[in-house]
Structure 1
Amino acid sequence: MRNSFIRTIRWKFIFIFVLSASLSVAAAFVFYQLCKLLAKIDTFRPPINWLIGKTGSIPVLVVGGAILFLLLFFVLSSKMIRYLGEIMRGLQEIAKGNLTHEIAAKSNDELGLLAETINGMTKQLKKSIEEERNAERSKNELITGVSHDLRTPLTSILGYLELIENDRYKDEVELRYYSNIAFEKAKRLKKLIDDLFEYTSIHDKGPMLEMKKININGLLKQLAEEFVPILAKAGMSYRINADEETLYVHADGSHLMRAYENIISNAVRYGREGKYVDIRIGKSGGEAVIEVANFGEPIPARDLPHIFDRFYRAEKSRSSQSGGSGLGLAITKSILELNGGKITVRSSREQTVFETRFPLIPAADADRA
């Protein structure tokens, strides 16, 4: 126990009081004996007899002992008083806004504990302020990103609709061309708004998860089949490489589908040149390991650390043309983490791989579930 009963401030003051009193009594006794010896010497006898005759020996000893007691008590307790002053000055410094100031914990009593508590409170306050500032900065960045990404397609929509409204087209073919562009831009705008609502819902409220046992092999095979028309349109196909053993994880199936839809869509969008999307399912160290690989152009190394940031797009011009909202991978990362998983990415000239991991349900538990 850090603060033992005997080391409390109360007992330290009692000890100082008793020690000061004891030393004062001892000093008074020594002074009394010394006066008795000096009274036998002719030189000192007259002043001593005069002092005792005027006041008496007991008042002299009491007054002298009291003065000595106060001096001793002040000296012996000065260290604690100075430390208390340091704590007060530290509090004043913190009150001025200097949250980096730290009060040294110099004792094992309540004062030392108070100093540590103040330091902990200050660190927590500093952390809370930093988190609030980061949240404010994040909100401002979100607003800026949203404004930019909404304005671009909206400007195009208004521009083409204005051409149609003012009859600035040659024939019906050009009219349909303009209306088709406005329609595509409107679809992109809707997707961005939908993604934005999903992202803010995940971060602000958190989705209502229905956690259950999920057959990850079956889920990904089903999802891959659903992507066949999209893959065919892009001139691509999928390949699945999975262990014979069925792997089970504990997650929300619908949210997991949403996350892997984003990953596979991303692989199709940027991997057309490679013709294939590979889905690899295995296990390692008690985790289900799922890799989605494409064989298109690699992600630049400078972009890899930011690939899951909202509104961040690698190769921005190509991303803009492909219709990406810049939120898909941020949503994916949030969903996977809420379901107890994690995602990483690696990219080279050969392939770009998005790797996800989930804790496996042990085989015995999976059979019972």
Structure 2
Amino acid sequence: MKLNFIYTIRWKFILVFLLSIASTVLSMYICYRLFLYLVYITPFRTPIRWVVNNMGSTPILIITGCLLFLVYFFVFSRKVFRYLEEITRGLQEISKGNLLYEITAKSSDELGTVAENFNQMTKKLRKSIEEERNAEKTKNELITGVSHDLRTPLTSILGYLELIETDRYKDEVELRYYTKIAYEKSKNLKNLIDHLFEYTSLRGEVLQLQMKKVNIIGFLKQLAEEFNPQLEKEGMSYRLMAKEESLFVQADGHQLMRAYENIISNAIRHGSGGVYLDIHISKDQDEVVVKVINYGETILERDLPYLFDRFYRADRSRSSQNGGTGLGLAITKSIIELHGGHITARSSGNETVFETRLPLYPDTVNKHIRLQ
């Protein structure tokens, strides 16, 4: 076991104290020899003897020894005192609000530990302040986005209802037309509110996941079957490809269904230019990889990093005119991350791929390790 006691402050001061005493004794011996030389050999022996006879040798030795000890103790401990002064200066800077200031850890003793702890404290405090600022910024952005997205359909609804209320329509056909538009806008508004509530619930961590063992291959096959009417309407069909018969993950089935519903809906909505929607399922070490591929219009490179941001709408991928609320993929990302996974998107040529990675079910991972 490594002995760390010599690196502590108390042992450093004990060593400094002992070294100061040893240096003082050695210096006193040298002074004593010099004194004998002055008394018996040099021409100054008479006045020196007079001083010794009148004052005594003991007080002189005591005073000289004390002075030498203080000098040696100060010399040997000056590095420690300088370090204390540096830590004090650092604390003063931190107290002034300069959280970028760092105290250099020069030793492995308590002072070095104190310096390192204060550095860690300032880093955590700085990070906490940054997170608080980001949270405030996020909240403001969310309020701004919600206000804009709620105001747009609500303005349309009020406009058409005002036309109906003031009888500014030609006939019943036009009345029904205005009513239908207001009804459709109301449904879009409800859809946006529902998505917003779901998103804030996920981000607020109030959601309690009901985790179970789920066969992701059977799960996605069943889910894709439910999209057949929508696929047929767009002139498409799905193809599900997997080498294994079953791959298990630990997940909340309802929430996972919500996540992949958003991905598949998005793929159908923006991939209607293609014939197929492909779902590839594979295993990569201890992860299940699911790729949902559509063959529609390419997503611009500048839009890819922002696809999973709430209320982000590119000209092609997040348009409110095609029924998107700007929250679907943001909700999907939150759900996937709550399950310990992550999601990415890439697009090239006429192929757009949304890839999710989820941890394999623990028993499956252990079995895989044993088989190796």
TM-score (norm 2): 0.93
Deviation at 1:42, TM superposition (A): 6.5
CA distance in 2, matches of 1:318, 1:202: 21
What SS is found at the alignment partner of 2:298? coil
Match of 1:345? 345
Unaligned runs of 5+ in 1: none
Paired position in structure 2 for 1:120: 120
**Residues 35 and 282 from structure 1, CA distance in 2 versus in 1: closer, same or farther, beyond 3 angstroms?**
closer
C-alpha offsets along residues 160-207 of structure 1, whole Å, 9 cap, x if unaligned?
Answer: 111111111111111111111111111111111111110110111242
Cα deviation 1:35-89 (Å, max 9, x = unaligned): 2222224621221122112210111111111112112211221111011100100
Alignment partner, residue 150 of structure 2: 150
Q: Report the 3-state secondary structure (helix = DSSP H, G, I; strand = E; otherwise coil) of the residue aligned with 1:254.
A: helix
Output the amino acid matched with 1:46.
Answer: T
Paired residues for 1:1-369 under 5 Å: 4-41=4-41, 43-243=43-243, 245-315=245-315, 319-361=319-361, 362=364
The CA deviation at 1:274 is: 1.5
Write out per-residue CA displacement over residues 103-150 of structure 1, whole angstroms, 9 at most, x where no aligned residue.
111122111111111111111111111111111111111111111111
1:9 deviation in Å? 1.1
Partners of 1:318 and 1:342 lie apart in 2 by 20
Which of 191-200 and 121-130 deviates more? 121-130
| Aligned CA distance change for structure 1 residues 21 and 258 (closer, same or farther; 3 Å) | same
Secondary structure (helix, strand or coil) at the match of 1:250 reads strand
Q: Secondary structure at the match of 1:39?
A: helix
Task: Say whether the 8 Å CA contact 1:3–1:109 is kept in structure 2.
Answer: no
Q: Secondary structure at the match of 2:278?
A: strand
Report the residue type matching 2:155 in the other structure.
T
State the 1:317 CA deviation: 9.1
Task: Using the TM superposition, name which of 226-235 and 54-63 deviates more.
Answer: 226-235
Q: Which amino acid aligns with 1:107?
A: S
Provide Cα deviations, 1:261-297, integer angstroms capped at 9, x if missing partner: 1011101211122243222223333432222122211
Gaps of 5+ in 2: none
Contact 2:211–2:252, Cα closer than 8 Å, also in 1: yes
**Distance verdict in 2 for CA 1:297–1:7, change over 3 Å:** same
- CA distance in 2 between counterparts of 1:364 and 1:14 reads 55
Aligned length: 366
Could you say what secondary structure the match of 2:293 adopts?
Answer: strand
Contact 2:103 2:116 in 1 (8 A): yes
- Give me the identity figure in percent: 64
Q: Which amino acid aligns with 2:330?
A: A
Q: Whole-Å Cα distance in 2 between the matches of residues 42 and 79 of structure 1?
A: 40
Distance in 2 of aligned mates of 1:221 and 1:167: 51
Contact 2:299 2:317 in 1 (8 A): no
What amino acid sits opposite 1:226 in the alignment?
E
Structural RMSD (CA) = 2.0
- Give the Å deviation of 1:245: 1.6
Indicate conservation of the 8 Å contact 1:271/1:294, yes or no: yes
d(CA) in 2 for partners of 1:119, 1:286 = 37
Amino acid at match of 1:328: G
The verdict on how the C-alpha distance between 1:172 and 1:304 changes in structure 2, with shifts beyond 3 A counting, is: same
SS at match of 1:130: helix
* Counterparts in 2 of 1:21 and 1:364: CA distance versus 1, 3 Å: closer
Structure 1 residue 365 displacement after superposition: 6.1
Output the amino acid matched with 2:51: L
